Chains A and B, each alone.
Chain A
Amino acid sequence: MSPSRKRVDCNRTSLRQRAVALAIVIFSLCASAASVAQPGTVLRLGNPGEPQTLDPHRYNLRLEETLLTDLFIGLTTFAADGSTIPGVASSWQVSDDGLRWTFNLRPDLTWSDGQPLTADDFVFAYQRLQAPATAASLAYFMYPLKNAAAVNAGKMPVEALGVSAPDSRTLILELEQPYPHLLERLLYPTAYPLPKHAIETHGDSWVKAENWVSNGAYRLQEWRPQAYVHLVANAHFNPAPAITEVFYYPLANEQTAYNRYRAGEVDAIATFPSGELDYARRELTADLRTSVQLSIMYLVFNSRVEPFSDARVREALAMMMQPEVLTDKVQRSGNVASRSFVPAMVSDYQSVPGPQYQLDLAERLSRGKALLAEAGFSPDRPLEITLRYISGAEAKRTALTIAAFWKPLGVKTQLHQAELKVHFADLRQGDFQVAQAGWIGENNAEHYLSLLVSDTGDVNYGGFADDQFDAMMASARQEADLDERNRLLRVADERAVGLYPVVPMYSLGVRRLVNPKLRGWNNTPRDVHPVRFLSLEP
C-alpha cells in the first residue's frame, strides 16, 4: 500500500472523530436548549403577539396590558383572584354627589430607581394622557375626569383637568358625571402613575430599557424586538416576588406556541389551536386551563340601511340564531354561548336574554318566515345579505354557520372576509350590512349597553338610534347609587333587546396551557395573571 493511501485513511479516522465530537456538541446544545431556565426564579411566558409599545399612554392591545400589569401599580390593582383591591392608594373617600374622589397614597412609595413616588406623578401622568401632543389612543378611558374630553381635544389647557394634589400623599379626582365604576377604570394602564423625573429627563425615549423606571413588581431589563421582553424584579417593590425574572415571548402563531410549549421551551402560553382542545383535554389535563373572558361577540345590523332599518327583518334573522349550536358543535374552542348582550358573568347585574329564545326552534322559524313575508320578502324575492367577518379560521367557520342558520328562512347569504384593520374601518364608516363584531368589556353592564346609545359615535357600528333607549341610558348615567343605576340600566336593556339592533353570540373562551409546577395561577374573569403572585416549584 502506498504512503499516500495511508494518509487518506488517517484523514478518514480524524474525520470520523470530528463527526462524533460534533454530534456530542450538537446533542449537548440540544440538551441545554431544553433546560435553559433555572427553575424557581425565571419564568418564560408566551404572549400572543409582539407589544407595540410599553408606554402606558400609547398602548392599545391586551397583550401590552399583560406586561404593563407586571411593570406598574395604579391607585387600585388586581388581586390574585382578579378582583379589584387597593394599589398604591391605601384608602379613599367619595363625596355625596359622587363627583369628587379623594385618594390617600401609601407612605414610602418609591420608583424602581429609588426616587420617591408622589401624588404629583399621578397629576403629571393624567395630564400627559390627555395632552393632544401625546396622541394617546386610549385617552378616552379617563374621560370620566372633569374636562378630560375638552383637554384632549385641545379646547382647554391641561391644567383644567379634574386632577389635583394638595400634598404629596393626597390625590383628588373630580368627575364630569357620577361614575361608580371609577375604581375598576383605574385598573387600566391609562390610570397608572408615570415617573415624572424620568420622562422630563429622557422625553419619549424614557421607555428604552436603559432609561426605564416603573413602580410595579418588575422593571424592564431588555426588549429584543420580536424575540422577547425581559423583566426583572424591582428591588424597591414590597413584598419581593418569588419569580425574579420573566421572559415574555411573542408567540403570534398558535401552532408554534403549542409546539414550543410542548417542547418545554415556555412555561405558559396564552392560547393554542382550537382544534387541539379535545386532545389537550385528554392528554394535557394537568396543563390545560380554560376559562371565560368578560366579553361579548355579536352580529351587528346596519340599522341605517334598507332592509335592516326595518326591525322586522332584524328580528327575523335573530330568530334563527342558535348560540349553543355555534359554540358547542361548531367552534368547540371553549367559547361560551350568550343569549344576552350584557354577558351573564357581569356581577351585580341580571342579564336580559333575547325574547326570541322564549319560543322553540320550529316556532322561531315560522315566526321568522312570517316577519320576512311582512317585510316584503318571498321565495321570488329572497332577502340577500352580505355578512362580513374577520380573517381567521374560527371567524370563518362562524360565518359559514350563521349563513346555514339563515338558509331555512330562504335568505341568501354572501360572505365577505377582511383582515381586522379593514373590517373595523368598514364598520366604523357604516359600510356593511351585517357583520361580526366584539367587545371585550369591563365588569359592568353600562360598558356594553353604551355601544347602542345613538351619540356613542362610530363604535355604535350599526348606527342604532332609539330615543326612548337613549333617554333611559341618560337617566341611569345621572345616578350615583350603584344598585339604582343597575336597575335603570336593566330597564334600558329590556327596551333594546326587543328591537334587535344586535344578535349576541358568545363570550370568548380562554384556553391556556400552564406548566403544572407553576403555583398561584388562578382563572380570573379578565384573564389577568400578575406574575408577582406566582411561583415555580423546582
Chain B
Amino acid sequence: MTRYLSIRLLLTLITFWVIVTAVFFLLRLAPGGPFDGERRLPPEVEQNLRAAYNLDQPLPRQYLNYLLMLGHGDLGPSFKQKDFSVAELVISGLPVSLTVGVMALVMALTGGIVLGTWAGLNTGTKTDLLIMGTANIGLAVPAIVVAPLLALIFAVWLGWLPAGGTGGPLHFLLPATALSLPFIAAIARLTRGSVAETLQEPHITTAMSKGLPRQRIIRRHVLPIALLPVLSYTGPAAAALLTGSVVVEQIFELPGIGRYFVQAALNRDYTLVMGVVIVYAAFILLFNLLVDVCYARLDPRIRLRS
C-alpha cells in the first residue's frame, strides 16, 4: 500500500510539473502581450511596464524565476488586476467555485445514483427507457443553453431565485443545477449498467433465489459493488465539474476563479492564468489521489496485492 501510494504521489507531482511548464511556455507563444490595449502606449512606457513585471528578461530566466517563486508558495502579482496578488484573487474566488462544484457534485451523485439504480433494476422495461431517455436530455442540452434558460425562468419570470452574483446559498442553486444536469445523466448511465451487471453475478442470483428480501439484497450486496465504478468516476467528474464551472460562472456572474481564467487568458495576464491552472490542477490531482486511495481500500484486488 505504501509503495503504491508513493508511486502515485510521485506521478502526481510529475504531472503537476508538466502542466506548469506546458502552460507557462504556451502562454508566451500567444500573439499579443499583456500591455496591448485600445489606447496608445508610447515605447518608453511599455518599456517601463515590461521592466516592472520582469518581462524584459530572457524566457528561460523568467521560467526559472517563476518556478522559484512557486517554490516559495507565491503565485506572483497579477498583470491586470493590479491591486491584488494572484494568491489574493484565488483565495477570494476559490470558495465560490468550490461551493458550486461541491453542490453540483452532490446533486449529480444523488440524482445519478438514484435514477441509475432505478433504471438498472428495471433494465429493458419502459421505466428504464423513460428514465434514461430523460436523463440523457440533461447530457444532450449544453450548459450554454440550460444556464440562461434557468436564469430567465426562475429569476426573471418567476422571481424565485437570484439571477446572478453572490449573497447567500440561494445564489448557488441555479448555477449548481445547470452544472450538475449532464453529470446526473452520466452517473445514471454508469450506475444503471453497473447495477444491471451486478444483478447477474452468481452470488446475487443465489441470494435472490433463496428468497431474501429484495430491498435488503440491493442495499447490502448490489449497491456496494455496483457503485465502485461510480466512485472511480468521481475523480474525472470533479475535474469536469470544476472546469465546467467556467461557463456557469460567466453566465451567472459568480465571482469564482473560473471567471478569471477566460478573462485572464484573453488579457494575456500570464501570472493569473498560471495561478488558476495551478489551483485547478492541484485540486483535481489531489482529489484523484484521494479517490484512488479510497478505491484501493475498497477494491479487494488492489487490497490483496499489497
Q: When the two chains form their complex, are residues B162 and A137 in contact, meaning their CB atoms are under 8 A apart?
A: no
Indicate whether A225 sits within 8 Å of B170 (C-beta atoms), given known contacts A30-B160, A137-B37: no
**How far is B161's CA from A226's CA once the two chains are assembled, in angstroms?**
20
Assuming the A-B contacts A30-B170, A421-B266, are A252 and B253 also in contact, with contact meaning beta carbons closer than 8 angstroms in the complex? yes
Which among A135, A153, A249 has the greatest number of chain B C-beta atoms within 10 A? Answer: A135
Total cross-chain contacts (CB, 8 A): 161
Contact of A29 among B42, B52, B168 (CB under 8 A): B168
Residues of B within 8 A of A285 (CB): none
A225 touches B152 (CB 8 A): no
Select the stretch in B6-14, B59-67, B81-89, B297-305 that faces chain A.
B81-89
Interface residues on B, range: 35 or more
> Is the pair B38, A438 in contact by a Cβ cutoff of 8 Å?
yes
Given contacts A149-B44, A225-B92, 15 further A-B contacts (CB under 8 A): A36-B167, A53-B81, A137-B35, A137-B45, A140-B40, A152-B44, A152-B45, A153-B42, A153-B44, A249-B253, A253-B250, A255-B148, A421-B37, A421-B268, A459-B39
Query: How far is it, in angstroms, between the C-alpha of A137 and the C-alpha of B39 when the chains are bound?
Result: 9
23 residue pairs bridging A and B, Cβ less than 8 Å apart = A30-B170, A33-B170, A50-B81, A52-B82, A52-B83, A53-B83, A54-B83, A137-B37, A149-B44, A152-B42, A153-B42, A224-B255, A225-B81, A249-B165, A249-B253, A252-B250, A253-B251, A262-B156, A263-B162, A265-B162, A419-B266, A421-B32, A421-B266
* Contact yes or no, A259 B166, CB < 8 A: no
Report whether B32 and A132 are in contact in the complex, using a CB–CB cutoff of 8 Å.
no
Indicate whether A52 sits within 8 Å of B52 (C-beta atoms), given known contacts A152-B45, A226-B255, A457-B42.
no
Is the CB–CB distance between B253 and A260 below 8 Å? yes
Whether B183 is near chain A, meaning CB under 8 Å from some CB there, is no
Q: Across the interface, do B40 and A55 meet the contact criterion of CB distance under 8 Å? A: no
- Do A259 and B44 touch across chains, with their CB atoms under 8 A apart? no
Q: Which stretch of A112-120, A236-244, A422-430 is in the interface?
A: A422-430
Give the complex CA separation of A83 and B84 in angstroms.
34
Q: Is the CB of B163 within 8 A of A265?
A: yes
Cβ B39 vs Cβ A60 within 8 A? yes
A153 to B33, CA, bound (A): 21
Contact across chains for A428 and B255 when beta carbons are under 8 A apart: no
Shortest A33–chain B CB gap in Å is 5
- Closest CB pairs A-B (n = 8): A226-B255, A153-B44, A53-B82, A227-B255, A259-B163, A135-B48, A421-B32, A425-B32
- For the complex, would chain B's binding face be called helix, strand, loop or mixed by DSSP majority? loop
Question: Shortest distance in angstroms between B41's beta carbon and chain A's nearest beta carbon?
Answer: 6
Contacts of B82 in A (CB 8 A): 52-53, 55, 58
- Asked if A137 and B41 sit within 8 Å, CB to CB, the answer is yes
Does B138 count as interface, using CB distance less than 8 angstroms?
no
A226 vs B263: C-alpha distance in the bound complex, in angstroms? 11
A265 in contact with B165 (CB, 8 Å): yes
Q: Known contacts A152-B44, A225-B93, A253-B250; is A26 also within 8 Å of B84 by CB?
A: no
Given contacts A135-B48, A256-B163, contact A33 B168 (CB under 8 A): yes
Q: Judge whether B159 is part of the interface by a CB distance below 8 angstroms.
A: yes
Tally chain A residues at the interface, Cβ within 8 Å.
59
Contact with B along A130-143 (1 / 0, CB 8 A): 00111111111000
Taken together as a complex, chains A and B put the C-alpha atoms of A228 and B171 apart, in Å, by 15
Q: Residue A420 at the B interface, CB < 8 A?
A: yes
371-424 of chain A: CB within 8 A of chain B: 419-422, 424
Q: How far is the CB of B256 from chain A (nearest CB, A)?
A: 8
B49 within 8 A of A: yes
> What residues of chain A lie closer than 8 Å to B268, measured between beta carbons?
421
Whether B83 pairs with A425 at a CB distance below 8 angstroms is no
Residues of the A chain whose Cβ atoms lie less than 8 Å from the Cβ of B39? 60, 137-138, 459
A60, B267: Cα distance in complex, Å: 13
* Chain B residues with CB under 8 A of A29: 168-170
Taking the complex as formed, is A154 at the interface, i.e. its CB lies under 8 A from any CB of chain B?
Answer: yes
A250 CB contacts on chain B under 8 angstroms: 253
Q: How far is the CB of A19 from chain B (nearest CB, A)?
A: 16
- In the complex, A521 has a CB within 8 A of chain B: no
Contact of B45 among A140, A255, A259, A419 (CB under 8 A): A140
> Which residue among A33, A139, A207, A249 has the maximum number of chain B CB atoms within 10 Å of its CB?
A33
Output the least CB separation between A135 and chain B (Å): 4
The answer to the question of A81 belonging to the interface, with a C-beta cut-off of 8 Å to chain B, is: no
Is there a chain A Cβ closer than 8 Å to B199's Cβ?
no
Chain A residue numbers with a CB within 8 Å of B186 are: none
User: Can you list, as one digit per residue, whether each of B79-108 has a CB less than 8 Å from chain A (1) or not (0)?
Assistant: 011111000110011000000000000000
A34 at the interface (CB under 8 A from B): yes
Instruction: Give B144-198 interface residues, CB cut-off 8 Å to A.
Output: 148, 151-152, 155-156, 159-171
Q: Which residues of B contact A264 (CB under 8 A)?
A: 159
Report the bound CA distance from A485 to B198 in whole Å. 89
Instruction: Tell me the bound Cα distance from A88 to B132 in angstroms.
Output: 69
Smallest Cβ-Cβ distance to A459: which chain B residue: B40
Contacts of B255 in A (CB 8 A): 224-227
B254 CB → nearest A CB, Å = 8
How far is A288 from B89 in the complex, measured between Cα atoms in Å?
Answer: 35
Q: How far is the CB of A424 from chain B (nearest CB, A)?
A: 6
B73 at the binding interface (Cβ < 8 Å) = no
